[in-house]
Chains A and B, each alone.
Chain A
Amino acid sequence: MPWKNAHVFSPSTFYVDRVCYTKILPQETPGNCIMRVPLDNKADKVICGPGLRRNGDEVLVCKSGILRHKPPNLYWIDSIQKRYVPAKGESVIGIVTVKSGDVFKVDVGGSEQASLSYLAFEGATKRNRPNVQVGDLVYAQFTIANKDMEPELVCIDSCGRANGMGVFGADGLLFKVSLGLVRRLLAPQSDIVKDLEKTFPFEMVVGMNGRVWVRARTAQQTLIVANLLESCENMTTQQRQALFRRVADRVT
C-alpha cells in the first residue's frame, strides 16, 4: 500500500500493528502501540484526538479505550470516564454556589469551581442584573478552560445571544451519569434518545460534565426517565430496546 507522507508527521509515517476499534491499553512498549495509518490520497494531515499523544516520530496511547477513526483523517481513543475535566467550548450544567459582587462561582464537577460573570447573560447590563440565586442550575459554555487558570463560563454566544443557555430547571431532576453516556446522548442521531422519545414526552438538558436534567409531566415519569438513563450505561442495544419497549408497553 503506498504511504503518503503525513502532513502533520514527517518524514516517516506512524505505524499500527492492530486494527482500529480494538482496545488499546496505555503503557505498552512503544514498539507495540505505534499506529500505522493507511492514508488515502485525500488526507494530507492526520489529527490525533483525545487519548493520543505525539512523541517525536511516534504516536503514543495515553488512555485505555477503543481506537476510533473518523474518515478521512481523525483518530481518537474513546475511553470510559466519570471525572470531568473542563475543556474550552464545551457546554455544561453548573450549580451556582457563591454570589459575590460581580461574579458567580459555579460548581461544574471539576477540580475547581468556575467563575461566571453577571454580565455574561443575554441582555445583562450593570444596572440590569440577571436573576440568579445560589443553588440555581445554569447551562453555560467554557470560554477559558486549561490547567493553568481558573475556568470561566459564559451564558451567551459570540453574537450576544443566549442560544438556550442560562438559568433553568424549576421542577426537574438532576442526576449524574458517566461522560461516555453523555457523549452518546449528544451524538447527532442518538439511538438512546430516539428510543426514549417513544415512551413519553419529556424535556432533557445534557451537560458535557456528566450531568443530565430531566423533566416530564409528573414526578413519577421523571423518575422513570432518570432511572432508564442511568441504567442504559452498560446495556447492549438489544437489552436497552427491550427495556424501553417494556416501559412503553406499561405506559400505553
Chain B
Amino acid sequence: MRETPLSNCERQFLLKAIEEKKRLDGRQTYDYRNIKITFGTDYGCCVVDVGKTRVLAQVSCELVAPKDNRPTEGIMFINLELSPMASPAFESGRQSELHVTLNRLLERCLRNSKCLDTESLCVVSGEKVWKIRIDVHVLNHDGNIMDAASIAAITALCHFRRPDVGIQGEEVTIYTPEERDLIPLSIYHMPVSVSFSFFQQGTFLLVDPCEREERVMDGLLVIAMNKHREICSIQSSGGIMLLKEQVLRCNKIASVKVCEITELINKALENDRKVKKEGGKFGFAESMAKERITALKSEIAPVEMIDIEEKAEDIICRTGAPCDTVPSPVVRAPGTGQVGEGLQNAWGLDEVEEEEEEEDDIEQGGPEKQPESETITSKKGDVVVISDSEEEEVVILHQGVEVKDFREEMSSGQKQATSASKKKKKKRKLAH
C-alpha cells in the first residue's frame, strides 16, 4: 500500500497558513495536542496518545550474563518498531532512515542520560544481571512519533515492577509475585523529548508538528530534557541554520512543556497505583472507549475566530447576489441530457445527428419490445446483472428484435445512470 502523495496545493496552503500563524487544527504555535496515557493490566505496559499518534511501550526483564567490561551493571535494551499498521509509508522488513533516526534518538535520550540505575540491576556480579528490555511499537502515525515514544518509554519504565531476588551463598532464588511483591525499578529522573519544527528558513517554529506539517517542514530540532532543566540530548536535523537565540528560546519552551508532561505522567501513574490498591478495575478494557460510533471521535479543537467579523463583513458587502435562475439542460433525446454552455457541438455535426436518430429509434423500439421481453423472461427467470465486467458484448444499434432484449434494458439503465450523474454534477456546480 503506497502512501498518499502530498499535492502541490496542500503544500502551498500549509506554508501560507503557517506564515499567517494558523495551524490546521487551530492550535497555537506552542500548543501540544491532547496527551492521553493509559496502562494495561500488566506492569510495564502503557499506551500514549498524542492527538491521533498512538504509541505502545512494553517493558520486560530477564536474567542474563553481564557485558565483560561492565560486570556489575545491568543491561538496558531499547527497540522502536515502525510497522505498516502505523502508516502506509512504513514498509516491514527494511529499516528506513526514519526508523534508524528514531531508535538512535530514543537510545540517547534514555541510555546516555542514565535515567535508570543499572547498578541496582546487578544480582551476582560478573554472572547474573537483569536485562531490561523496552519495546516501543508505533500504532498510528500522525506526526511527532519521537515525543510520544519518549513519553511512553519513560512511563512504562516507571510503571514496571521486576521480581524480587534472594541470594543464599551460591544459590539465587527468583521469587514469584505470589511469594514476594514485585519491586519497581530505580529511576533517577524522567527525560522527555520535545520536538520543534522549523519553517521559512528557520525563522518560524511550531511545537509538536502533525503529520502534514512534518511533510512540509524545513528542519526539526529535538530536545530531551527532564524537569530539573537538565538537557539529556539535543539534535537538529534537516540542515537548517539555527541562530543561538532560537536554540535558547527553544530550551525555555521545552523546559515549560517538560514540566507539564512530567506532571501528567506522575498523575497517571498515581491514578493507576490507587486503582490497583483499591482493587478496582484497571487496564485497557476500562480506559479505551467502548465500541460505539463515537469511539474514534476526537475532541473538539477550539478554532480561533477573532478578526473574522470584520473580514467577513467586507466580503459580504463586496460579493454580488448569487444568481437564482438556472439554465435548464437541453434534452436531445429521452434518457440523455446536455449540461453546460456551448450546447451546440460544432465539430462532427453530422455524426451527432445520426447518433440522435439512432437513439430515438431505440427508445421508440424499446417500449414496444417490453411486453415481448416480459413474457420471455418470466418463463426463463433470468437475472439481469448490471456488472462492470469488460467482457460484455458490444451493443449493436441497428439489429433485429431477439438480440436486443436484455441489452436494451441494460443500455437504457446505463443511460439513465449517466444522465443522473450529469445532473448531479450540474447541481454541484450551482452550489459554488
Residues of A within 8 A of B (CB): 5, 7-11, 44-45, 47, 54, 87-89, 91, 95, 97, 107, 109, 111, 113, 133, 135-137, 144-146, 148-149, 157-161, 163-164, 169-174, 186, 188, 193, 197, 200-201, 203-204, 206, 213, 217-224, 226-227, 231, 234, 247, 250-252
Give the docked Cα–Cα distance between A213 and B432 (Å): 12
B418 proximal to A (CB < 8 A)? yes
Instruction: Establish whether residues A188 and B427, one from each chain, have CB atoms under 8 Å apart when the complex forms.
Output: yes
Instruction: Establish whether residues A227 and B301, one from each chain, have CB atoms under 8 Å apart when the complex forms.
Output: yes
B342 proximal to A (CB < 8 A)? yes
Q: Which residues of B contact A218 (CB under 8 A)?
A: 311
Q: Which residues of A contact B11 (CB under 8 A)?
A: 135
Q: Which residues of A contact B300 (CB under 8 A)?
A: 231
Q: Which residues of A contact B421 (CB under 8 A)?
A: 89, 91
Residues of B within 8 A of A (CB): 1-2, 4-13, 16-17, 20, 22, 24-26, 293-294, 297, 300-301, 303-305, 307-309, 311-313, 315-316, 319, 338-340, 342, 345, 347, 374, 377-378, 381, 383-384, 386, 388-390, 417-418, 421-425, 427-429, 431-432
Give which listed residue, A159, A204, A206, A219, contacts B20 with CB less than 8 A. Answer: A219
A229, chain B: closest CB distance, angstroms: 13
Instruction: Establish whether residues B303 and A224, one from each chain, have CB atoms under 8 Å apart when the complex forms.
Output: yes
Instruction: Establish whether residues B22 and A219, one from each chain, have CB atoms under 8 Å apart when the complex forms.
Output: yes
Instruction: Establish whether residues A174 and B305, one from each chain, have CB atoms under 8 Å apart when the complex forms.
Output: no
Instruction: Establish whether residues A5 and B388, one from each chain, have CB atoms under 8 Å apart when the complex forms.
Output: no
Q: Which residues of A contact B6 (CB under 8 A)?
A: 135
Instruction: Establish whether residues A227 and B25, one from each chain, have CB atoms under 8 Å apart when the complex forms.
Output: yes
Give the docked Cα–Cα distance between A175 and B63 (Å): 50
> 22 A-B pairs, CB-CB below 8 angstroms?
A10-B378, A47-B386, A88-B388, A89-B418, A89-B421, A91-B425, A97-B5, A137-B7, A157-B422, A163-B425, A172-B13, A174-B9, A188-B427, A213-B9, A217-B315, A219-B17, A219-B20, A220-B20, A221-B311, A223-B303, A250-B309, A252-B309
Q: Which residues of A contact B22 (CB under 8 A)?
A: 219-220, 223
Q: Which residues of A contact B8 (CB under 8 A)?
A: 133, 135-137, 169
Instruction: Establish whether residues B309 and A251, one from each chain, have CB atoms under 8 Å apart when the complex forms.
Output: yes
Closest 4 CB pairs of A and B: A10-B381, A135-B8, A169-B9, A219-B17
Instruction: Establish whether residues A227 and B9, one from each chain, have CB atoms under 8 Å apart when the complex forms.
Output: no
Instruction: Establish whether residues A111 and B418, one from each chain, have CB atoms under 8 Å apart when the complex forms.
Output: no
Q: Which residues of A contact B423 (CB under 8 A)?
A: 188
Give the docked Cα–Cα distance between A136 and B423 (Å): 26
Instruction: Establish whether residues B308 and A220, one from each chain, have CB atoms under 8 Å apart when the complex forms.
Output: yes
Instruction: Establish whether residues A149 and B432, one from each chain, have CB atoms under 8 Å apart when the complex forms.
Output: no
Q: Which residues of B contact A113 (CB under 8 A)?
A: 2
Instruction: Establish whether residues A170 and B9, one from each chain, have CB atoms under 8 Å apart when the complex forms.
Output: yes
| Given A188-B427, A227-B26: A135 in contact with B7 (beta carbons within 8 A) | yes
| Given A107-B2, A222-B13: A8 in contact with B424 (beta carbons within 8 A) | no
A149, chain B: closest CB distance, angstroms: 7
Q: Which residues of B contact A164 (CB under 8 A)?
A: 340, 425, 428-429
Q: Which residues of B contact A91 (CB under 8 A)?
A: 421, 425
A22, chain B: closest CB distance, angstroms: 16
Give the docked Cα–Cα distance between A157 and B1 (Å): 30
Give the docked Cα–Cα distance between A204 and B377 (Å): 46
Residue of A nearest to B386 (CB): A47
Give the docked Cα–Cα distance between A109 and B2 (Å): 9
| Given A10-B378, A10-B381: A135 in contact with B424 (beta carbons within 8 A) | no
Instruction: Establish whether residues B305 and A111, one from each chain, have CB atoms under 8 Å apart when the complex forms.
Output: no
Q: Which residues of B contact A250 (CB under 8 A)?
A: 305, 308-309
Instruction: Establish whether residues B7 and A146, one from each chain, have CB atoms under 8 Å apart when the complex forms.
Output: no
Give the docked Cα–Cα distance between A113 and B4 (Å): 10
Give which listed residue, A10, A95, A193, A247, contacts B4 with CB less than 8 A. Answer: A95
Residue of B nearest to A176 (CB): B4
Instruction: Establish whether residues A223 and B305, one from each chain, have CB atoms under 8 Å apart when the complex forms.
Output: no
Q: Which residues of B contact A204 (CB under 8 A)?
A: 431-432
Instruction: Establish whether residues A95 and B389, one from each chain, have CB atoms under 8 Å apart when the complex forms.
Output: no
Give which listed residue, B2, B5, B309, B390, contacts A146 with CB less than 8 A. Answer: B390
Residue of A nearest to B391 (CB): A148
Instruction: Establish whether residues B16 and A7, one from each chain, have CB atoms under 8 Å apart when the complex forms.
Output: no
Residue of A nearest to B339 (CB): A163
Instruction: Establish whether residues B7 and A174, one from each chain, have CB atoms under 8 Å apart when the complex forms.
Output: yes
Give the docked Cα–Cα distance between A111 and B374 (Å): 41
Q: Which residues of B contact A219 (CB under 8 A)?
A: 13, 16-17, 20, 22
Give the docked Cα–Cα distance between A247 and B24 (Å): 17
Instruction: Establish whether residues A224 and B309, one from each chain, have CB atoms under 8 Å apart when the complex forms.
Output: no
Residue of A nearest to B380 (CB): A10
Residue of B nearest to A111 (CB): B1
Residue of A nearest to B370 (CB): A44
Q: Which residues of A contact B24 (CB under 8 A)?
A: 223, 226
Give which listed residue, A10, A217, A227, contacts B311 with CB less than 8 A. Answer: A217
Give the docked Cα–Cα distance between A226 and B383 (Å): 44
